[in-house]
Amino acid sequence: MKKLIPAFILLLLIAANGFSQTADEIIEKHIKALGGKEKYKSVTSLKISGKAGGGGFEFPITTIQTRSGNYKSEMTIQGLSSIEAYDSKAQGGWYVSPFSGDKSAHKMNEEQVKSTKEQAKIEPLLFTYKEDGATVEYLGTDDIDGVEVYKIMLVKKNKDIVYYYIETSNYLILKESQKIKFEDKEYETESYYSNYKTVDGVLIAHSVEQMNDGKIVGSFTIEKIEINLNFDDSLFAMPVTK
């Protein structure tokens, strides 16, 4: 038995190291499938236009992301425009939510700023997780409606956890899940990605369906993507309240 113990420990160490390497290998193949890091680095801005749906309604929505960290999302419902934005120059976020009758801009709280600032990043989170101080772990394979997927757990620097379900056949994300807090409540969200299309060498999912606590709450269909447009910083600045 004394001779078996060191060999058993060695096997455990090899297995643990293999899981770590496998997680990195899966992510690298995923990045390559989307066009690669170098191609993404050449993208200075993304303007995405499409339609969002939820609650029986469908409405146009446009989002803009820039390499400098600016972000703006605007959707129009019954003539009213709802806006979320992050101004990288001012390092602050703001929003307009006119459906209660208030059409003025308001500053975001710390939690809202964190979320919006993250959305401003052009590269997906798996591209930059090491630089962001996050860690990943391979949790084996799973099955989603008959599709075999790799399950990757990503733990952010702030300890938030995101699970990615990457198809074994093409290394594209089929599903992403995480827990988020909103108004002191915690919700589990699931996003399902499909209809991947290449735009200027970058592969992007053109259809997203979102579920909260097992219920479908919304969808987003991309109609047009414009890359490397120029946007003035003033577009992302919070309007001055008169």
| Tens digits of residue pLDDT in 169-185 | 999 999 999 876 656 67
Where does the pLDDT of residue 10 fall: very low under 50, low under 70, confident under 90, or very high at 90 and above?
very low
Contacts of 172 (CB under 8 A, 6+ apart): 30, 33, 34, 166, 193, 196, 203, 205
Where does the pLDDT of residue 190 fall: very low under 50, low under 70, confident under 90, or very high at 90 and above?
very high
- The whole-number average pLDDT for the span 56-80 is 92
d(C-alpha 64, C-alpha 4), whole Å: 59
- 61, pLDDT greater than 90: yes
- 103, pLDDT greater than 90: no
Query: pTM of the prediction?
Result: 0.83
User: 9: burial class by Cβ within 10 Å (0-12, 13-18, 19+)?
Assistant: exposed
Q: Hey, what domains does the chain have and what are their CATH numbers?
A: 4-236 (2.50.20.10)
d(C-alpha 197, C-alpha 63), whole Å: 18
- 13, pLDDT greater than 50: no
**Residue, of 165 and 99, whose pLDDT is higher:** 165
pLDDT at position 56: 74
∠ CA(177), CA(178), CA(181), 5° rounding? 145
- The whole-number average pLDDT for the span 175-198 is 83
Where does the pLDDT of residue 188 fall: very low under 50, low under 70, confident under 90, or very high at 90 and above?
confident
Over residues 16-26, the pLDDT tens digits come to 444 444 899 99
Least confident among 33-42, 86-95, 214-223: 214-223
- 206, pLDDT greater than 80: yes
Where does the pLDDT of residue 15 fall: very low under 50, low under 70, confident under 90, or very high at 90 and above?
very low
d(C-alpha 196, C-alpha 36), whole Å: 15
Least confident among 32-36, 147-151, 180-184: 180-184
pLDDT at position 17: 45
